[in-house]
Amino acid sequence: MGFIRFVAFAVVRAWQGFWRNAMMSLAATATVVLMLVLLSGLFIVIGGLNSGLSFIESKVGVTARLRDGLTDSQVQNLVADVRKIPGVKTVDYVSPAEAMNRLKQAYEERGETLNLGGASITLYASLEIGLTTPDMGAQVSQALSGRDEVAQITTRQLDYAKLLNIIGVIRTVGIAALVLVGLTVLFMIVNMIRIAVYSRAGEIEIMRLVGASDSFIRWPFILEGILCGLLGSLVTIVLVAVVWDPIQPIMVRVFQMPTAVSSQFLAVLSALVLGVGLGVGALGSWISVRSNLASAN
């Protein structure tokens, strides 16, 4: 019962202290919200880009256009040789007739009909080569470049490398921005608790005279910082929930690729935001209490 009374006392005192210096407390909370919104944005963008990266990984492969006039035995021998190349996962032969069927199907999926206007087009036979890992495209292309049966080689390796570079730049810039804003948040919370400590210096001295322990004096101030982080986290979670539905189509339009993220992703993001908010609030208040409470005698 004594512990429960102590917790209740600390929570009540933290709530009262938060509103006693409302301007500073709300300013610190707003800074926490800013940091957590940046964190959420970075987490969502990188999560979406990783989803797009997985999509490209599934599509990255090598397409080898074959020369005209190859016999069935030449094609079969080529397929057998390609399967032996390190990094090759699958090899599929696409005939000119199958290529035409794919072209017609692509138009049908868009609600259109392929109309050549009486003209004829030439489609070539090709090999569609799946890779064990996306970074094997260059090696497989080089192995095929010396084959007489192959007329042209294409790969989406550049798209994959470009997306990797984009993710790296966004991650670096985002982390740098988060560090700067995080330091600002700590500064705000430290100052908020410092002001609270000095404003209650007389009250703290009376507590010490009647025998109050250091933890009894410190915890209301630490909880005040945690309350600041908690409120900032809840505001951020609500903001993310409000804009959650428009996020995915915007990302698809911006990055021109599927970037779907699931509801489980939102739950993980909410837990991350809550944990970081509480952690920053607790850390800032703990630093301030340790450095300022002893001097408030």
User: Is the domain of 36 the same as that of 170?
Assistant: yes
15 shares its domain with 75: no
Pick from 93, 125, 155: which residue ends a domain? 155
Residue 24 lies in a domain: yes
- Low-confidence stretches of the chain (pLDDT < 50) are 257
- In angstroms, the CA 59 to CA 156 distance is 8
**pLDDT tens for residues 223-273?**
888 999 899 999 999 998 888 777 767 666 665 545 555 667 788 888 989
Task: Please tell me what DSSP assigns to residue 67.
Answer: P
Q: Are residues 200 and 287 in the same domain?
A: yes
Q: Give the end-to-end CA distance of the chain in Å, rounded to a whole number.
A: 30
Please give the Cα distance from 15 to 124 (Å, whole number).
74
**Token code pair at residue 290:** 């340790």
CA distance 187 to 32: 11
Host domain of residue 98: 61-155
In the listed set 155, 180, 195, which residue is the last one of a domain according to the structure? 155
Query: In the prediction, which pLDDT does 199 show?
Result: 74
pLDDT of the residue at 92: 84
pTM: 0.65
Does any domain span residue 143?
A: yes
Task: Specify if 297 maps to a domain.
Answer: no
Which of 105, 133, 155 terminates a domain? The answer is 155
Residue 231 has what pLDDT? 92
Residue with tokens 């087009």: 121
Q: How many domains does one find in the chain?
A: 2
Measured CA to CA in angstroms, residue 132 lies from 24, 127, 129, 136 at distances of 56, 16, 10, 7
**pLDDT tens-digit map of 70-93:** 888 888 888 888 888 888 888 888
Q: Which bin fits 69, alpha (ψ -120 to 50), beta or left (φ > 0)?
A: left
The answer to whether residues 246 and 288 belong to one domain is: yes
- Residue 85 sits in a domain of what CATH number? 3.30.70.3040
Q: Do 183 and 250 lie in a common domain?
A: yes
Asked if residue 267 belongs to a domain, the reply is: yes
pLDDT at 235 (0 to 100):
94
In a domain, 86, yes or no: yes
User: Within this chain, do residues 178 and 249 fall inside the same structural domain, yes or no?
Assistant: yes
